Amino acid sequence: MMGSMSNETPPEGEIIEAARRRHRLSQNKAAKAAGISGTRWRQVVKGVASGGTGVVLPTRGNAETVAHMAHAVGVSPDQLAEADRADAADVLRGLELDNATEQESPTLHDGFERSVWADTSLSVDKRLDIIAEYRASRIIEERKKNNGGNDNQQAG
């Protein structure tokens, strides 16, 4: 007798599949981005694997596999944690941190920038955008201060 688990998609599978569909990726392309086979992608998403000769076995992706899948389709660590996969959320946080450090780790000038960069619920691109906007606003304020508060001074 099979348990109901074989008929239910695991919560992390639902979240990952929804994100994959939103990004309009095929399962095979998403799997390739995650570094796994399309077959393994489907097994983890559905929570079942074929045991041969028509036998279906419950399966659960390990934390690293689920984290790589989530990373490939833009699922956040918080979403994985809400799906009761805190183990995979922790791995994903590490992946995001490694990725951010390798890619575009900015020089952080103050506490605000450091707090924005530490907020892993935001994508790397979003964090960089916020920091850039913050820096731009600081430059504008500095210019106003240097111009005596009048940006529209004209030479006479």
Question: How is residue 4 annotated by DSSP?
Answer: G
84: Cβ contacts below 8 Å, ≥ 6 apart: 11, 12
CATH architecture for the domain at 1-104: Orthogonal Bundle (1.10)
The confidence score (pLDDT) of residue 63 equals: 94
Whole-structure pTM value: 0.61
- Residue 101 has a pLDDT of 54
Tell me, what's the pLDDT at 113? 78
Which pLDDT does position 98 carry in this prediction? 66
Q: What is the mean pLDDT of each run of 10 residues along the chain (156 residues)?
A: 57 96 91 92 93 86 94 92 94 77 60 80 82 80 73 46
Q: Would you kindly state where each structural domain of the chain is located, as residue ranges?
A: 1-104, 106-149
49, 66, 119 from 43: Cα distances, Å: 5, 11, 32
Res 153: pLDDT: 47
Angle among Cα 82, 3, 10 to the nearest 5 degrees reads: 20
